[in-house]
Amino acid sequence: MGELSRAGIVTPVEAKYLSDESGHEFLFQPTQELSLLSDRFALPNPGIMSEIRLLARSGSARFVVTADPPELGHEILPHLPPLLLDPSWRSIYINAKDQAAADEAFSVKMPNEPDQWSEELEALRAFHFDVVTVDLTGNQSSWAGSALDVASVAFLLWQVDEDRKPAYDAGIRWEMHIKREEGDHLEWTLEPLHG
């Protein structure tokens, strides 16, 4: 147990040392309780939770995530792994802009040049993450496939009005929509993605 200080924010963490034939790494996992997250974000109904977990265990959990309002997507995306899956799953949040949520999750900020994103994403494959959440925009066809290779479970933030074909072509078959209702209640839907 320890504390991680990042950009002036101190987070209680559990540190683990992992070693295998591919190398060594430290895993810093925030000890933040799931209840704190579920206080901020209402969970989906049990049917949707079961479906997501079943897909994750099968290795085919790849989702386009849309949100209404759009700011909700940026806010909730890095928290989807501990909210929807087992908190022990190793996850990484990938973004291209300074997002407040990046300070609350293990995250990597991509370079300012989108043509470098695919190469950067390829480099992350070596870490064998369980879950990747991706908050990138523009020309998805150039990086979506590489993002999916980072982990077996993937959540890619997508704008509601953006074409889904690049996501479908990359191998994503599910769309999760999260809508903030009156009183901050969240309405979750999960549907097959059509290209």
Q: Round to whole Å and give the CA distance between 69 and 26.
A: 36
Nearest 5°: phi and psi at 16? -125, 140
CA-wise closest residue to 70 among 167, 160, 189, 169: 160
Reported pTM:
0.78
Instruction: Tell me the pLDDT tens digit for each residue of 119-170.
Output: 888 888 888 899 999 988 765 777 888 888 889 999 999 988 888 888 898 8
Instruction: Tell me the pLDDT tens digit for each residue of 68-110.
Output: 999 999 999 999 998 899 777 889 999 887 665 656 677 888 8
Domains, the chain: 1-31 (no CATH), 35-192 (3.40.50.300)
Question: Is the Cα dihedral 26, 112, 103, 83 positive or negative?
Answer: negative
pLDDT number for residue 101: 61
3-state SS class at 186: strand
